[in-house]
Amino acid sequence: MKKIILFLIFFLVMFLSKITILNLPFNEDALTYLVPSAEHMVKNGINPFVNGLSFGHTPLLFMVLAIIFFFTTSPIMAYVIIILFSSLALLFTYLIAEKIFDKDTAIISVILLFSIPSYSALSGIFSTAIPSTALNIAAIYFVIKENKKLYILMMSLSILIYESSMLIIPGVLLYILIKDYKKDKKVLLRELLIYGSPLLLVVFWLFLNKIINGWFFHPELKRFRLTSISPIILIFLGVLKKIFFDEFRWILTILIILAPLTIKSFFKRFKYKSTLFYLILSIFLLVIIYFIPSLQIESANFPTLNNHIQEVYNFRFLIAVIFFIFLTTNKLFFEEWNKKEIILFSSIILIYVVYHSMFRTNLARYFVPIFPLLVIIASKSITKIFGNKKYLVALIIAVLFISVWNLNLPYHGDLSSNMEYADEVTVESQAIGYIEENYPNSVVLTSGFFSKQGLSSPYSGYTKKSIRNVDIDSIKDDNKFDIFYYNGFIGEERKKEIINKFNLTLEKRFEKNNKYTEIYIKSD
């Protein structure tokens, strides 16, 4: 009963925080493959292998969307499902924190997770991020509870929603090894096989892809192949920044490092030579970061890399200080966080960092599944360091997180990192609505896949009927389109080139908080 009550409370709070965006059309990943795949299934029967539309992703979430589309093309029900999963993630975060620590840590964990900007934003976006997060954290809870059947169920469902959920499993296996290494070898092997069994789903899915589509991994994934070590190192730093520094999470990082430290313990272990050596290493790191921006690496697969490098540079002094504190207190740190469950958390976080560094995937939504683990550890730090003032400190940090919920920047490629995506979707919807009302029979030149999908399919939530359009990369002459619809995706230089080439005039502009769309028509 307690769990049901908590879930209902979390759902009510989450629903109220998202009530203003429930009528927004779909965006980002939903337009990339979830909506097209679900639409294809509706029109051709429930077939999870949709001729590559799914980009090779596992099918459960777009199958759920297809069922919704049988009844309505409104996105409201799809968003409610995401809110349900988001509430479920809050519940299991609470239960894990209470299980391994205490109720105060559990409450603070929920407060912090709810207020993280990317978690809040993704709780209102139809994508795999929040469902996989909820099922992953549920699977981790059942590992800690040693409930194998429910672990396998949750882990299997999570993999069926998003195949990268399998990254949880190596961390779980390492945890089992550390926890049960004294058991009989046959018993231990049996445990490892049971907890590793959801990986069979991945193997089964790969072979079905090969049989039906002709490939194990979708050809689109070729762009994630490794090229050289140096960009990976920089992306590794960017991934660390994304997890441990962005959106005021550097506060959580510092608290986790400082939790074991007291004045007395510091001086008790203080050694002049080693401290001087650690200081030199920290200064050396500072110097390295200082020269990183001069590299200016260009990457077609990671166009915002230099922006992240610049942000690492901006945080150089803080990074060096944290590095020095960690080196100085590392023995205290490992003594403090010596719980087996923390080893489980750390293993999973490490695997996520290494995987996403190797494959150059650095968007906020890829790291949300490990945020519950991060906030649980940070929340325990808060309860230890601040004692009776722990809730006040937690609320101050939550307010800082919430202060960037609606931070708006020019288009930067990761709109799901906070609620600014809602402004982008709003101006997209206004522009496409204007075209549908005033130029329903025109051919529209689109400036990106999302706008093309929004115009083409009523299932995307932008139009009542499909509007003819042509892609900007395929256009050669001005006889193939009547209107140019610009949404910022291709950049200002490319926009100017199109306007000058085809002699276009601005007809209408829609703008909200640094996000804008424009409609151009041919000049007489």
pLDDT in 10s for each residue of the chain, 524 residues? 888 999 999 999 999 999 988 889 988 778 888 888 888 888 876 666 666 566 677 888 888 998 898 888 889 999 999 999 999 999 999 999 999 999 999 999 999 999 999 899 999 999 999 999 999 999 999 999 999 999 999 999 999 998 889 989 998 998 888 887 777 888 888 989 999 999 998 888 878 777 776 666 665 655 555 545 556 666 777 788 788 888 888 889 888 888 776 655 555 655 666 778 888 888 888 888 777 766 666 655 555 666 667 767 777 787 788 788 777 777 777 767 777 888 889 889 988 888 877 776 667 788 899 999 999 999 999 998 888 999 999 999 999 999 888 776 655 556 677 788 888 888 889 989 999 899 888 888 887 767 788 888 888 888 888 888 887 777 766 667 888 888 877 777 888 888 888 888 888 899 888 888 888 888 76
Element (H, E) at 65: helix 60-71
Q: How far apart are CA 201 and CA 152, in angstroms?
A: 11
Coil vs helix vs strand at 161? helix
Element (H, E) at 446: strand 444-446
Pairing of strands 515-522, 504-512: antiparallel
Pairing of strands 483-486, 444-446: parallel
CA 25 from chain centre, in angstroms, equals 19
Q: Is the dihedral of CA 43, 44, 49, 53 positive or negative?
A: negative
Tokens of 248: 């005021």
Strand ranges across the sheet with 444-446: 469-471, 444-446, 483-486, 515-522, 504-512
Coil vs helix vs strand at 506? strand
Q: Which among 309, 290, 299, 326 has a CA at the least distance from the CA of 240?
A: 309
Tokens of 131: 């469902």
Q: Please check whether residue 496 is in contact with residue 503, taking contact to mean a CB–CB distance below 8 angstroms.
A: no
CB-based burial label for 492 (10 Å; 0-12, 13-18, 19+): exposed
Q: How far apart are CA 68 and CA 34, in angstroms?
A: 12
Q: Please check whether residue 405 is in contact with residue 105, taking contact to mean a CB–CB distance below 8 angstroms.
A: no
Element (H, E) at 459: none
Q: Please check whether residue 335 is in contact with residue 260, taking contact to mean a CB–CB distance below 8 angstroms.
A: yes
User: Residue 515 pairs with which residues in a beta bridge?
Assistant: 512
Tokens of 386: 């601040």
CA 55 from chain centre, in angstroms, equals 18
Backbone angles phi, psi at 436, to 5 degrees: -65, -35
Quickly tell me which residue has 């709109």 as its tokens: 415
Contacts 24+ apart (CB under 8 A), 278-282: 278/324, 278/327, 278/328, 279/324, 281/323, 281/324, 281/327, 282/320, 282/321, 282/323, 282/324, 282/327
Tokens of 21: 């965006």
Q: How far apart are CA 343 and CA 173, in angstroms?
A: 11
pTM reported for the whole predicted model: 0.86
